[in-house]
Amino acid sequence: QVQLVESGGGSVQAGGSLKLSCKASGVAFSTNCIAWFRQSPEKGRELVASIRSSSGTLPYYENSVRGRFTISQDNGENTLSLQMNSLEPEDTAIYYCAARSGIYCYLLPTQYDYWGQGTQVTVSS
């Protein structure tokens, strides 16, 4: 049984930082595509960042977070992290960890097989 459990959300002021973590069981992060999505009423669920270290390709970042967010994984601990710096009110959303089996990472949430329960990030101005 696959389980993804996020932690690290919270409330911060604009310009602050948060680090999200996702602990996985039942699925190997080292050989699958893993990603962070976020969901807000304005934008729906969108891909924030994705990584598949075994492919040797660079991580993907959504344009608005590139340079501010960093996705990383610890294969030994089977965890995924998202370091979020210079947070903006527009980053307010529920953040989800997701994983899919396969060679490639994709943009659409429907293409991911496993999801965490989500963690709330609120950025105030």
Q: Checking DSSP bridges between strand 10-13 and strand 119-124, what pairing results, if any?
A: parallel
Judged by phi (left if over 0) then psi (alpha if -120 to 50, else beta), residue 101 lies in beta
Question: Mind listing the pLDDT tens digit for each residue in 9-68?
Answer: 999 999 999 999 999 998 877 778 999 999 999 999 999 999 987 766 789 999 999 999
Q: Checking DSSP bridges between strand 10-13 and strand 33-40, what pairing results, if any?
A: unpaired
pLDDT (0 to 100) of residue 55 = 67
d(CA 109, CA 117): 14
d(CA 22, CA 82): 9
